Amino acid sequence: MDLLKAALNTKRQSLENKELVGPEKKYFKREELIKKEEEEYWEKSSEKLRASINNENQFTNKGLGLSSNLGNSYFMCSKDLILIMLLLQIMWMICCQEKR
């Protein structure tokens, strides 16, 4: 029984951290949970994209001509642009493997 209570408390705490429930709000809509999880996913994806763009060896040394001095405004981009950049990165990796 203690295990079940601990699991429920863990789940409740994670929902409180996502600001879906709290002292004044007892219930939440599943749609809100999905929206929060999607926002977290896109934040993590943009961080990975940011890290891969800042990698000097991967981009500037291989001829794409992207510099790491793009500034923070470059990273305030839409989901579509993030997907396009990820696809370009994958295509570039495939091209590099075919040249070998």
The 10s digit of each residue's pLDDT in 40-99 is 888 888 887 777 777 644 545 555 444 444 444 455 557 777 888 888 888 888 887 766
The answer to whether 28 and 21 are in contact (CB under 8 A) is yes
Residue 53 contacts by C-beta under 8 Å, 6 or more apart in sequence? 59, 66, 68, 70, 85
The model's pTM: 0.45
Q: What is the pLDDT of residue 96?
A: 75
Q: In 53-78, which positions are buried (b, 16+ CB within 10 angstroms) versus exposed (e)? A: beeeebbeeeeeebeeeeeeeeeeee
